[in-house]
Structure 1
């Protein structure tokens, strides 16, 4: 095989590889979008019985996920963020750009009082159950299964207590 033929083979292989990568990204992106919508619907369903104007309200806003390597101007990760207003405080569920292998994470803002802590929801690429991950400094994160009762307990911490 001469160099021109080898070049042609290399280009065909590269094109096939890029087409496969794009197909995988499209499949993973569709799952990312579906799982976010499914989660937000579930949270809305869980909170529906206790929604009270001025005390607990739930809403969605259009959102484009971005990161240092995926600027908002070119991001294809168009979705929504979910906002829970509770007793004048705001909790936001803000999706991150899809991670390696299609993993999904959502920053949960407004629930951590720790100075260097953060809270997120994480869904591994090969899983269907969301995990609540609380990180505080350099120690290993605390991880919990995420369900209606767990969310309710977290939101309860935002309700002012009588100090009688």
Structure 2
């Protein structure tokens, strides 16, 4: 094989690898809204008894831009979820699918508690994952522990934030 043929083969392999990487990114972005909406559906299930007592939920479309690499940029629409009671609102808003230390982040925007949901993957390239609640400590304080994203922990945030 000549040097030119070796270089051509290396170039083909590199381009194939880049195409495969882009296909994986495209697939992750395409699946991200469904993953977020499963979280919203779970939250709305937990909140159902409160809705009958006057709490409201509303989904509104927002636009997100992500740059997982210098060659790959994505802009997409996704919903945020607002939860309102006692004239207080807590907003659940996706931030990004591609993050350091996880495979997705959704912020919990409120006045009293600073936290977000982080999707962690225990096995790369599988559907085996869990959501955790990560509290953001005040400036200068050590990082707090994460907690499981479950009904009790989430409703505790709702209770504190909405004054229930």
Deviations 1:101-154 (A, max 9, x none): 8701111101535xxxx3100111344321111021341232111122222221
Counterpart of 1:87?
Answer: 86
Find the residue that maps to 2:129 and give its secondary structure.
coil
Find the residue that maps to 1:107 and give its secondary structure.
strand
Gaps of 5+ in 1: none
Q: Distance in 2 between matches of 1:39 and 1:107?
A: 12
Counterpart of 2:41?
Answer: 41
Aligned residues: 153
- Confirm or deny: 8 A CA contact 1:112 1:119 kept in the other structure: no
1:160 positional shift: 4.3
Find the residue that maps to 1:103 and give its secondary structure.
coil
Map 1:113-132; keep pairs closer than 5 Å.
113=113, 118-126=114-122, 127-132=128-133
Counterpart of 2:156?
Answer: 153
**Structure 1 stretches (4+) deviating beyond 6 angstroms?**
none
Computed over aligned residues only, the root mean square deviation of the Cα atoms, in angstroms, reads 2.7
- Confirm or deny: 8 A CA contact 1:111 1:119 kept in the other structure: no
Q: Distance in 2 between matches of 1:67 and 1:31?
A: 14
Bigger share in strand: 2
Residues 21 and 159 of structure 1, relative CA distance in 2, 3 Å threshold: closer
Provide TM-score, normalisation by structure 2: 0.78
Q: Distance in 1 between matches of 2:66 and 2:29?
A: 16
